[in-house]
Structures are given as structure tokens and as C-alpha cells.
Structure 1
């Protein structure tokens, strides 16, 4: 699991050789760390969520002797400031931040690697700036549509994890259970901490359990105090869901033709409940030059069996 890989357990070669905070405007400062070999093959890793932040384990996807990796905590995420801020936090703003980082480090083109929401942001960036992208390695493909969100949190769990979906609904007042997705998004975007905090912890635990084929932590919390520290992802994720990820309906798939000429691989868990394979198949069909690798016996999480190995192979196979 991610929590088992820390700065103390990482080999020296996977530790950052530099880290800094960059001002990107709108009151936001984003955390950027560099791992690997300075001047090597430029790669940017895009974390999921939105809002989860980059983790130590993410660094191990790369070859530190070959790659110059930039791991960026997006607006409001991880070590970026202000933490969990949704102000001026949009897909377009994150794309602009990536361009600011690229220009700051004088990078002509770079490889983009990302999973789940990270794959969404990678596609959105590549469609906006295809001339700046050398290759793409994507995992657990998410195209940022309302339909996918409803499947991930309502329709999918109803079918495959009905007991968990029932618990998710039961953490709401009875009059809000008819439309739990809307109810949770409303609560997570409410400025009242007493309303926001309990729902944030339930949402975080629910999504984490759904991300694993055999979840180890499938119990949703109850009676969370309003002063409990807010978990990552829940608040920013709800902000993006409320705004349809700041994308037009079907935008990424419609604009996939702009990826022509960019080589890439999509690594997809066969039993991913949050981001099912049909999204990966749809993009692969619309993206000339894409390779789709389905990982049997895997769900959504990067730590599922075979997923990280497939990502490492795909990254290694990309040309400089």
C-alpha cells in the first residue's frame, strides 16, 4: 500500500534531489519535487483525486538513472498551499500550472504519466498542448463525465458492493438518501465544517474501499467529530464533480483526434469499479497510436496485482 513506502524506506536514488514551492497565481503555491537524473528524460507525474497529492510510491514507477521526474501537488493538494482550497481551482488552471512548471524548468517536451483523475488531466493537457507531449502512460482511465461519476459512486456499487452502498446512504439523513450523490456533494461543498467533515471522512473511506478488488478497510466511519482533520480528495473532488470537472460533455473523447502522433499506453484493471474498462476502450479506439493493456484480476488502485509492473514497462518502452 502507499503508506508502506516512505522517505525512510525509499532507496536514495528515489529521493528528491530538489523540491520547491512555485507561485502560480490566484493565491496558490504548488509543490514541485524533482527525482532521478537532472537533465534526463523529462517526465511529469500527475496524481489522482482531484486532491490526493503525490506519494513516495509514485517515484518508484521511474528509472532514476534515466528519468528526470517532476512530481507536482496540484492546487489545494498535498503540500501545496492553501490546503484543500477550491478557489480558482479548475482544470484549465491546472493545465496552466503545468505549462508554468514546464517553462520554469525550460522543458521542450515531456512524458505525462497519470492514473484516474491524473489520466483525465494528462489527456486534457495533451489535447490542449500536443506539441509539448512526447508520450502518455495512463492508468484507470477517467474521461471526466457525469455518467462516469454516477457509475463510480452509485450505479456500480449498487450492483457489486450493495452492502457498502447501503452503508454509504445510511450515513445520510433519511430525507437525503434518494439521491446520495447530490447529497454528499452538497455537504462536501458546504462551508459549515460540522456538515462537511463527517461526510468527507465517509466519502474518503467509501472511495478507498471501492478502489480495491479485495478492500482491507471496508467499514465506513460514523460519528466523526466536526473538528477532525479533513482527509485528502473529498473536498476538492466534490468541487470538481459539482462543476462537471470543468469540461464540456464528452470533451476529451471528442478531441481525442488531437492525440494523433503521440504514442501512449493505457493500463487498465479489468475489475476497476471506479473507472471501468469501457472508458479505456473508447479512448483507445479514438486515439491513433494508443496501446491498451488490460490487467486481469486488478481493480482501480495502482497497488493492485500487476498494475505497477505494467506501468513501469510502458514507461520504460517509451522513447526519450
Structure 2
């Protein structure tokens, strides 16, 4: 789908072509669409719509940072809704995808029927600092955090995010060195996402560069929000929208406190706070919660 003369957004649909549509908003920023989740979900009743956000996945130009900001991504979502001739959207967002879903709901609440939010990320500075700046996540994985921090210890910048961002966007630096930095960044996050032990695979290396560049771009720029607590400050604009929240108690990427604070702002919300889950959708109780929510939506629509 052409967004402008230089930008094309990849999208695809899975499941029943005439089924109940669900727009899936991926995380990161930069991770690309998790189309493999359809292996675990009802594809006979639902139609899952995936899209790769600007600069990542199969959207082009790849890794483009110009005009790549939160507000533009919201407009891209709205353009896709119009392109597909959809009325109101049921949106499923995970991690950064919850941020983008909530930002869309602030701008276009009249176009949202239901929100399903997994791993709520409010994009406040304290959320970023907890994860990257030694303000909490490092307590759980000190060895992995030390490697993440040491990789940029001698680079210029006030914060780890600033150091990674300035290095990854500096084309005067050797590409292989930048790729190594991106891998250090990615491995830190990789260590946090699940309560299950996961093995790092060679094929993750391209994803590592995409994720490190785009995440550092967004978080260095404070997610392009006009105030630090922008989402909660504007929650009154979407508080009426039926919302489901899935969040693992052992989610170290996105703390459960963010989900709880959001819950307090909503009039129509159901929460799944899962004791034996972390950040990953594939942690079993998180996936079970999503299946339960989809079954509820199916029953309501039938």
C-alpha cells in the first residue's frame, strides 16, 4: 500500500477473508508483524490484518527514519483502515503495539470498537529508564545488563539510549561495528521477554539491527509525545471503548504498573493479570487469555 511517493507499507490478511476483522499492531518499534501467531489462533472465524510499521519488516524504504514518528504511524493506521474500507476497528496491540493502539484511540476514538492490549507500554521516561538505564530491569538480569551497558561505555551520550542511537545512526562508523552494537542491544531485550528459557538464533541478527535502530530512534526522541504522561493524560478520550488487558506479573519489559494505571482510567475494561507469565504472548497464560478474549468476541458477534 502506497503511503506517499517514497513510502510503501506492507500489509497482509490471514484467516477467513470474510471473517471478523482484527487489526494486529506489532511491537518494537521495529519488530515487524508476528504473523506466526495465527498458528495458535482461530483462523476460521477471524480475519487478522497485519502491517509492518514504517522502516521495518517488508515496508519500504527499509530502516528509513525520516518522517518515522508516532503520529505518522497513527495516520498510517488510519490510511489502512480507509484502504480496507473498514468501519470500526478491533485492534490487538502488543508491547509498543499497545502504545500505538492507544495513540490511535486518542486521535480516532470514533473508529475503534474494541482494544486488546498485551503488555501495556505507556512510553513514559520512567518506563524507558526502567528498561535501559539501570532503574529496575537490571536487578533481574544483572549480567546481561552489564554486557548491554559495557558495549557503549566509552561512547558519547548522557544515557545508554542516547549512546546507542548516536552510534547506530552514525554512518561514519564501520557497519560491522554498528551491527555488533545492535546485537548487544537486542540480546539485552531478548533475555527479558519470557519466563521460558529461549536460545538465541543466528537468524535473529537482521531483526536485531532493525529493532535496535528503531527503538533507539523512538526512545531517544521520547516516542515523539508532547508530554511524558501523554497517554494517561488523554485517556478520557477512549475510556468508553471496551478494552481487554493481558499482562504478565513477571513482565520485565513493560511493568504491570502501567497496565494497572491504565485500568483505573477505563470505564469498560477486563484484565488478565497472569501470575506465571512474562512479556511474551507465547507464555502460556498470556496466549490462553488472548484465546479466551477472541472466544468472547466471537460469541458476541454470532
TM-score, normalised to structure 2's length?
Answer: 0.90
CA distance in 2, matches of 1:191, 1:156: 32
Encode CA deviations 1:88-129: one digit per residue, 9 max, x unaligned: 111111111111111111111110001100011011101111
Q: Classify 1:232/1:303 alpha carbon distance in 2 versus 1 (closer, same or farther; 3 Å).
A: farther
The alpha-carbon deviation at position 36 of structure 1 amounts to 1.7
Structure 1 stretch 266-275 or stretch 164-173: which is displaced more? 164-173
Aligned partners of 2:35 and 2:50 also within 8 Å:
no
Q: Are positions 1:201 and 2:180 aligned together?
A: no
The alpha-carbon deviation at position 217 of structure 1 amounts to 4.0
Q: Classify 1:259/1:229 alpha carbon distance in 2 versus 1 (closer, same or farther; 3 Å).
A: closer
Encode CA deviations 1:51-104: one digit per residue, 9 max, x unaligned: 110123232464222222210011111111111111111111111111111111
Encode CA deviations 1:24-70: one digit per residue, 9 max, x unaligned: 11621111101122232121000000011012323246422222221
Q: Are positions 1:67 and 2:46 aligned together?
A: yes
The alpha-carbon deviation at position 276 of structure 1 amounts to 0.8
The alpha-carbon deviation at position 193 of structure 1 amounts to 4.8
Counterpart selection for 2:222 from 244, 263, 278: 244
Aligned partners of 2:162 and 2:216 also within 8 Å:
no
Encode CA deviations 1:222-248: one digit per residue, 9 max, x unaligned: xx9xxx886331111111011111112
Q: Classify 1:132/1:201 alpha carbon distance in 2 versus 1 (closer, same or farther; 3 Å).
A: same
1:186 maps to what in 2?
Answer: 166
Structure 1 residue runs of 5 or longer lacking an equivalent are 1-21
2:209 maps to what in 1?
Answer: 231
Q: Classify 1:26/1:278 alpha carbon distance in 2 versus 1 (closer, same or farther; 3 Å).
A: farther
2:17 maps to what in 1?
Answer: 38
1:110 maps to what in 2?
Answer: 89
SS at match of 2:99: helix
Q: Give the CA RMSD over aligned residues.
A: 2.2
Aligned partners of 1:164 and 1:218 also within 8 Å:
no
1:3 maps to what in 2?
Answer: none
